[in-house]
Amino acid sequence: MKFFVDTADVAEIRSLAATGLLDGVTTNPSLIAKSGRKMSEVIAEICALVPGPVSAEVTATDHETMLKEGRYLRAIAPNVAVKVPLTEAGLRTCKALSDEGTPVNVTLCFSANQALLAAKAGAAFISPFVGRLDDIGQDGMGLIADVVQIYRNYAFRTEVLVASIRHPVHVLQAAKLGAHVATMPPAVIRALFRHPLTDKGLEAFLADWAKTGQSIL
């Protein structure tokens, strides 16, 4: 499974990229707004830090303007993936950009039927929002299971990018279902490292070593 971080915080991305475990980045207008910087500058800086796909989202809602914005965003760096919403205009834009060779991330997916449409439109990634579905009492991971099965049935090349991840259990469930990518906030990625028994074991090992009075170097 690929790990993407969902943020526009360049310092966080730089720190996580240094682990060697980061495969890409997803951003959106809300995350860019929090940075207080110009979108093109933030995207360019992120693309220089992470060689994998960096999703940059259009803000228009009509096809013509979406297409113009998408072409502008893809010109920022070779690893930009243009993100469009799962609307009729968004899928039309997805088809046009995909036909031009631009990878497209179709976002705000909440049903398997929507995911099927995105794959047929040539999306490189589909982003089902599991946390937001859980929030309203629906089964977010059930959606992932359906989409993974449908894509396998027809050998679609679209990758299932699990979004709106709230906690490490979502990551585990997505991996077990065979999702291709998990995008998550920095805090969730860091939570994956932690386990109380790891901390306890390390503390015991270090205490025993200290008693020897030795140094490896």
Active-site amino acid positions: 83
- Residue 207 has phi, psi (to 5 degrees) of -65, -45
Q: How many residues does the chain have?
A: 217
Q: Which residues pair with 104 in a beta bridge?
A: 82
- Alpha-carbon distance of 22 to 107, in angstroms, equals 20
**Of 65, 64, 67, residue with least CA distance to 82:** 67
Which residues lie closer than 8 Å to 2 by C-beta, 6 or more apart? Answer: 23, 24, 52, 159, 180, 181, 182
147-153 contact pairs (CB < 8 A, 24+)? 147/109, 147/112, 147/115, 148/177, 148/178, 148/179, 150/112, 150/115, 150/116, 150/119, 151/115, 151/119, 152/178
